[in-house]
């Protein structure tokens, strides 16, 4: 693992300024219309009449996605979030970003944490060019800032390497091209607390290398980085601390190597037979 | 698998009250908390470019796959007016009682459509854009306002078509046409307010979007879009005396009739209710301010579900 340690950007370790404090956080999703197939109309009526008492009987299912999670993150840390599918990683990240309300407990943050991603703001019917502007504005950049960084964003995405594609509607892009442009737009802004959800796994190998580099740059400028990934290598490369969520509960919180070893044992061995 | 799941968290996590105290000591704020009203207005103002860009983007994206493209911006309202002319003007003969029936009808249809589509779009503003709400941080009021703005842009296209229609049917150009600007501003404020109210209700209960078309259609038929409230009243002497003033004071009828009064020379001030401008301003203020505060009150809950 020596080469990974040397790759890490030097950040002040053991800093004592907290950036995110999670205090006994519960997150619950409520899903309508999951009652049994027959009689679901009566179930809906039931739901409206007897709101609280009969939620379950009336076809509202509650999904307890995150259960009593507490942790403190400090300035300069890069924290990995791991866990099997559906363990609540993305949900927790969204709650830290203030995008999902918590059921119990509270999340305190220093400044406004931002989720790295603009997919939802972009429109396939618009040209790539207009989407760069729209995405930038949606992230809270000013018109001038977007104009200033426009060329960088387009160059970084490499969309125009094979011709003038930036003036075509985004729906005509291949999925890889679309993903690259989305990442380039999202990574154009600096953040205090940066939350990254599996953003590294997009595009071809050369673009992945460039995006990893960009993430490292963002990390240097950001106070704290959270990274959700199923790629154990990118967690090891980027993070010095790892939170392991399983079924919504925080199972482990500690130094990367320690937690990753336990996690790999849990999921049935390491991804690949390792040399070291 | 079950035996491993019982392992307790190994991290040294301080007790709960310590965490809250730690956060307070370092001046951290609660994530996703609702800002104060002035702070909210400031945030919204900071996002004004996003609001306009989002509205314009939605508008252009609407017809980008059609062969005729943006021509549909003008074609759609014209076709709408043609359908209503066929049914109400030709088949039902409403036009016999109204001078300049085509300008009267087309103005009514366009102005009504503005309110109708703003409210419909507002209803789905949050519930139809959950992806956006859950991915990015911005004052949520930006969405309903942006949708109302998109409808205003759409209306401006229609107004261009309307001017041509008016001139073709011999309605003279007059100074009173300048009144369309304040009328549109008031109507836009009203629409935005109602869109904000509907956005909060639609976010909590998406079923409202299914119900709205029926409510809106009823509202359209009582607002004198394709007939004159004034003329109708003269044919029904048996009505209680409050019916006509009530019909005329409803916001849709107020804005439609003010627009007709501004544009059409044969539509006289006598056909307007008393204190019509006061009513128009009143509706705009009540809906605009009330709707904004009502929407802001639930700011932190949007995105759940």
String of b and e for B88-106 (b: at least 16 CB within 10 Å)?
Answer: bbeeeebbeebebbbbbbb
> Tokens standing for A13?
């370790």
User: What's the rounded Cα separation, in Å, for the pair A23 and B17?
Assistant: 8
Comparing CB atoms, the residue among B5, B129, B137 nearest residue A247 is: B5
pLDDT digits (tens, 9 = 90+) for B209-244: 999 999 999 999 888 888 888 777 777 767 777 888
Is residue B71 scored above 70 in pLDDT?
yes
Task: Give the number of other CB atoms < 10 A from CB of residue A134.
Answer: 23
| pLDDT tens, position by position, B270-281 | 888 888 999 999
Cβ separation A107–B32 shorter than 8 A = yes
Q: Alpha-carbon distance B173 to A66, whole Å?
A: 65
Running along chain A, 276 residues long, what does each successive block of 10 average in pLDDT? 40 66 86 59 65 58 87 87 87 84 84 74 85 88 90 87 84 84 83 74 76 78 82 82 90 90 81 46
What are the sequence ranges of the domains in chain A? Answer: 2-28+74-266
Pair A198, A228: CB distance under 8 Å: yes
Average pLDDT rounded to a whole number, residues B98-107: 86
The alpha carbon of residue B121 and the mean position of all alpha carbons in its chain are separated, in whole angstroms, by 7
Q: What is the ipTM of this complex?
A: 0.77
The answer, yes or no, to whether residue B4 has pLDDT greater than 90, is no
Question: So what's the pLDDT on residue B10?
Answer: 45
Whether A93 contacts A115, CB under 8 Å? yes
Identify the pLDDT of residue A11. 43
Q: Do B16 and A23 touch (CB under 8 A)?
A: yes
Interatomic CA distance for residues B304 and A51, integer angstroms: 17
Residue B190: pLDDT over 90: yes
Contact A109 B29 (CB under 8 A): yes
What span, in angstroms and rounded, lies between the C-alpha atoms of A89 and A81?
6
A2-28+74-266 CATH: 3.40.50.300
- Taking the Cβ of residue B28 and every Cβ of chain A, the question of whether any pair is shorter than 8 Å is answered with yes
Task: For residue B133, give the nearest of A168, A261, A119 by alpha carbon.
Answer: A119
Instruction: State how far the Cα of B143 lies from the Cα of B200, in Å rounded to an integer.
Output: 11
- In a mutational test of the B interface, the residue from A32, A43, A48, A70 whose CB has the highest number of chain B CBs within 10 Å is A70
Please give the model's pTM, rounded to 2 decimal places. Answer: 0.81
Check CB contact of B83 with chain A, cutoff 8 Å.
Answer: no
- Chain B residue numbers touching A123 (CB-CB < 8 A): 57-58, 61
Q: What pLDDT does B114 receive? A: 93
Q: A252 CB near a chain B CB, below 8 Å?
A: yes
The pLDDT tens digits of the residues spanning B72-96 come to 888 887 888 888 888 877 887 777 7
Based on the number of CB atoms within 10 Å of its own CB, is B250 exposed (0-12), middle (13-18) or buried (19 or more)?
middle
Residue B8: pLDDT over 50: no
CA triple A189-A20-B4, angle to 5 deg: 115
């Amino acid at each position: 693992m020596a080469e990974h340690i040397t790759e890490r950007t030097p950040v002040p370790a053991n800093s004592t300024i907290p950036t995110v404090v999670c205090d006994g956080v519960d997150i619950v999703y409520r899903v309508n219309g999951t009652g049994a197939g027959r009689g679901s109309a009566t179930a809906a009526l039931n739901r409206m009449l007897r709101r609280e008492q009969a939620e379950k009987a009336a076809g509202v299912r509650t999904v307890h996605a995150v259960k009593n999670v507490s942790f403190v993150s400090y300035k300069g840390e890069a924290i990995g979030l791991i866990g099997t599918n559906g363990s609540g990683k993305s949900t927790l990240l969204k709650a830290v970003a203030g995008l999902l309300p918590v059921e119990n407990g509270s999340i305190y943050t220093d400044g406004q944490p931002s989720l790295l991603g603009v997919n939802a703001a972009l429109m396939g019917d618009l040209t790539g060019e207009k989407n760069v502007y729209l995405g930038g504005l949606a992230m809270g950049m000013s018109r001038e800032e977007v104009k200033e960084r426009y060329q960088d964003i387009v160059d970084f995405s490499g969309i125009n390497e094979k011709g003038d594609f930036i003036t075509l509607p985004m729906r005509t892009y291949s999925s890889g091209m679309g993903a690259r442009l989305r990442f380039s737009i999202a990574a154009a802004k600096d953040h205090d607390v940066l939350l990254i959800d599996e953003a590294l796994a997009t595009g071809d190998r050369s673009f992945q290398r460039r995006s990893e580099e960009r993430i490292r740059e963002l990390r240097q400028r950001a106070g704290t980085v959270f990274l959700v990934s199923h790629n154990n290598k990118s967690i090891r490369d980027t993070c010095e601390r790892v939170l392991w969520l399983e079924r919504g509960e925080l199972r482990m919180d500690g130094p990367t190597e320690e937690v990753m070893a336990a996690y790999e044992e849990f999921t049935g061995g390491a991804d690949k037979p390792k040399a070291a | 698998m079950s035996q491993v799941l019982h392992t307790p968290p190994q991290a040294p996590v301080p007790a709960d009250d310590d965490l809250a105290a730690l956060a307070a000591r370092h001046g951290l704020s609660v994530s996703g908390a609702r800002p104060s009203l002035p702070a909210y207005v400031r945030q919204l103002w900071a996002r004004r470019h996003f609001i306009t860009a989002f509205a314009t983007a939605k508008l252009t994206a609407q017809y980008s796959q059609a062969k005729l493209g943006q021509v549909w911006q003008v074609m759609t309202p014209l076709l709408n007016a043609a359908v209503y002319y066929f049914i109400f003007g030709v088949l039902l003969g409403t036009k016999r009682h109204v001078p300049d029936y085509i300008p009267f009808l087309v103005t009514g249809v366009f102005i009504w459509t503005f309110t109708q589509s703003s409210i419909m779009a507002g209803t789905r503003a949050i519930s139809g854009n959950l992806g956006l709400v859950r991915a990015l941080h911005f004052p949520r009021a930006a969405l309903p306002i942006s949708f109302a703005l998109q409808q205003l842009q759409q209306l401006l296209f229609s107004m261009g078509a309307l001017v041509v229609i008016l001139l073709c049917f011999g309605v003279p150009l007059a100074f009173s046409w300048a009144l369309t600007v304040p009328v549109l501003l008031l109507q836009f404020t009203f629409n935005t307010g109602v869109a904000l109210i509907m956005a909060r209700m639609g976010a909590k209960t998406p079923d409202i979007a299914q119900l709205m078309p029926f409510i809106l259609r009823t509202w359209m038929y009582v607002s004198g879009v394709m007939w004159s409230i004034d003329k109708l009243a003269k044919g029904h002497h048996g009505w209680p005396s409050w019916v006509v003033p009530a019909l005329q004071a409803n916001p849709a009828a107020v804005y439609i009739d003010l627009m007709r009064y501004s544009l059409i020379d044969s539509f006289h001030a006598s056909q307007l209710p008393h204190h019509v401008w006061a009513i128009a301003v009143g509706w705009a203020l009540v809906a605009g301010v009330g709707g904004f505060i009502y929407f802001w009150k639930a700011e932190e809950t949007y995105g759940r579900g």
